[in-house]
Structure 1
Amino acid sequence: METIIQTYQLTKTFKDATIIKPLDFALQKGEICALIGQNGAGKSTLFKMLAGQLRPTAGDMHLFGKTGRDVAQARRRMGFLVETPVFFPNFTATQNLEYFRIQRGVVEKKRVDEVLEIVSLAKEKRKRFKDYSMGMKQRLGIALCLLSSPDCLVLDEPINGLDAEGIREIRNLLVKLNQEKQITIFISSHILTELQLLATRFVFIKNGVIVEDISKDSLQEKSQKQLQLTVDDTAKTAQLLEQTYVDIQFKVLPNQVIIIHNHVECSGDINRLLLDNGVFVREFRIEARNLEEYFLELVGGNGHD
């Protein structure tokens, strides 16, 4: 499996604040990896270092296995949407991309039409940029990333500020690029739910530190249902659960509430166990775990971007 991005103790300090603490991270070919964190967690700073817009304070970075002076060459195989691209408002989509094609030395003139087709803007290519919707502007930004036929896209908050329709369009586009063109994607957002349907891997960052790195399957397991019980005796309930289910995972909350994370399929047996042992169960319900809340706890808090 080819490693596209590899960082070794990559660090970024501004004045006296360390925005990215020594970071070890690897992105494999074919992944759609979501980087999730609050605004100010360091997402943009990391992406700008990958893009070569910021110099790391310490540590090392390999792109496609290349390091040192060869990184700039390897970067050409990547498309970055890190800052909002500055398009000319009075130019059409075609004119804007033609300008960047010449500026970036992309030889094939037909590439402009190809990328507009890929991002479903071929029918809108004669419309002026200033008349585009927010979603169309973002798709044109992705078209710009695709001009040089990259193997990897690095996209910083590309769905920020989009409506549900715009988010769906970007999501479908990225899945298509990943599956049909085998493009590896590294994408950031501060909203987990927007990326849940897209990513194959989720990396959570808080104050410049990766606090969780989890596959889609594991994430789905975490979002499985849980049992919520309200009982008259939490200590006795906890004791009964631990005696009966060796690997039981639960937490005791205030107001006599117990949340059970696993063995949800045994809900009937658990209810009977408690009743048979004289625990009065006032409320017993199964609810889906709110992933957004789980990860807000994980990545909550403030930082700098």
Structure 2
Amino acid sequence: MNTIIQTYQLTKKFKEDEVLKPLDFSVKKGEICALIGKNGAGKSTLFKILAGQLFPTTGEIQLFGKSSKESENEKKRMGFMIETPAFFPDFTAVQNLEYFRIQRGVVEKKRIYEVLEIVGLANEKKKQFKDYSMGMKQRLGIALCLLSNPDCLVLDEPINGLDVEGIMEIRRLLLKLNQEKNITIVISSHILTELKLLATRFVFIKDGVIVDDLSKEALEEKSRKQILLTVDDSVKAAQLLERAYADIQFKVLPNQAITIQNHVESSGKINRLLVDNGVMVKEFRIEALNLEEYFLGLVEGNKHD
């Protein structure tokens, strides 16, 4: 699989404040990589370095296998949306994109109409930017990123401040770009539940350090459902579970509580097994450790087993 972004021991200091500690980070072709961290974790700093808006203190970046010294052409294959672009409020979408097309030296004028079609703004010909909803503004921002036909989009908080409908629109758009146009996407956001519906990979960053890097499958595994039950005799319940299910994974907790990590789909049978064998079940529920909790556990140091 081709590597599109690769950083080697990348650091960034502002005076004495080390915002990025030696960072090795890579993105492969075709991924939707979510960068997750609190404000000040280093996400925007990393994106600005990738975009050439900031210079790293030390370390190196490669784009499409070329080092930053030889990657001017490679940078043109990237589309960045790091802060909301400064569009002209009295211009329509076409007028705004025409301004940026000329400024950026994009030859084909028809590209404007192509990108507006892709982001679903082709029918908003007369509406001025100042009359756009927040979701439409973000979609125009993505259209601007697509103007130069990039292979990779880097989007900093593109769903921030959007309502539920706006978030869904952006999600559908990004999935379409990834699946139909084979565009690699790096995205940051605080809305973790939303990223779970979109990303194929999750990179957690805290204080300028990557603290975890998980595939979608690994994250599902970490945030999977479990059965939580409280009984009157946890020792007897444990023996019954082990006899009935050879591969059962469970933990006996204080106060006669037990969590069961697998066989969640057999919850009814497990409940019946205990009751039929004289174990009194006081509480029985299925719970999921969600991405939000997992993230908080990582970035705030609360450990979830």
TM-score (norm 2): 0.88
The equivalent residue for 2:249 is 248
8 Å contact from structure 2 (residues 225, 289) kept in 1? yes
Letter in 1 for 2:157: E
1:174 equivalent in alignment to 2:204: no
The equivalent residue for 1:42 is 42
Identify which range, 231-240 or 218-227, moves more after superposition.
231-240
The equivalent residue for 1:258 is 258
Q: CA RMSD in A?
A: 2.5
Partners in 2 of 1:171 and 1:250 — Cα distance?
38
Partners in 2 of 1:272 and 1:46 — Cα distance?
53
The equivalent residue for 1:209 is 209
3-state SS of paired residue (1:186): strand
Contiguous gaps of at least 5 residues in structure 2:
none
The equivalent residue for 1:112 is 112
1:174-193 to 2 correspondences below 5 Å = 174-193=174-193
* Cα drift, residue 245 of structure 1: 5.8
8 Å contact from structure 1 (residues 226, 261) kept in 2? yes
The equivalent residue for 1:8 is 8
CA deviation profile, 1:129-176 (whole Å, cap 9, x unmatched) = 101000000000000001111010000000001011111111111111
Identify which range, 192-201 or 97-106, moves more after superposition.
192-201
How many correspondences in the alignment?
300
8 Å contact from structure 2 (residues 155, 186) kept in 1? yes
3-state SS of paired residue (2:56): coil
Partners in 2 of 1:172 and 1:144 — Cα distance?
17
The equivalent residue for 2:89 is 89
Distance 1:84 1:6, change over 3 A: same
Identify which range, 216-225 or 176-185, moves more after superposition.
216-225
Identify which range, 193-202 or 277-286, moves more after superposition.
277-286
* Cα drift, residue 276 of structure 1: 8.8
* Cα drift, residue 250 of structure 1: 3.4
3-state SS of paired residue (1:13): strand
% identical equivalent positions: 74
8 Å contact from structure 1 (residues 89, 128) kept in 2? yes
* Cα drift, residue 81 of structure 1: 0.1
The equivalent residue for 2:131 is 131
Partners in 1 of 2:294 and 2:91 — Cα distance?
45
Partners in 1 of 2:223 and 2:68 — Cα distance?
41
Partners in 2 of 1:2 and 1:116 — Cα distance?
29
Partners in 1 of 2:232 and 2:108 — Cα distance?
74
Distance 1:24 1:168, change over 3 A: same
Partners in 2 of 1:250 and 1:206 — Cα distance?
30
Distance 1:7 1:177, change over 3 A: same
Identify which range, 236-245 or 283-292, moves more after superposition.
236-245
Partners in 2 of 1:67 and 1:7 — Cα distance?
10
The equivalent residue for 2:76 is 76
8 Å contact from structure 2 (residues 11, 59) kept in 1? yes
* Cα drift, residue 223 of structure 1: 3.2
Letter in 2 for 1:5: I
Partners in 2 of 1:251 and 1:3 — Cα distance?
44
8 Å contact from structure 1 (residues 10, 23) kept in 2? yes
8 Å contact from structure 1 (residues 241, 248) kept in 2? no
Letter in 1 for 2:159: I
3-state SS of paired residue (1:162): coil
Distance 1:282 1:41, change over 3 A: same
3-state SS of paired residue (1:212): strand
3-state SS of paired residue (2:35): strand
Which one has more relative contact order, counting CA pairs under 8 Å at least 6 apart?
A: 1
* Cα drift, residue 10 of structure 1: 1.2
Partners in 2 of 1:193 and 1:48 — Cα distance?
25
Q: Which runs of 4+ in 1 moved over 4 A?
A: 232-247, 265-280
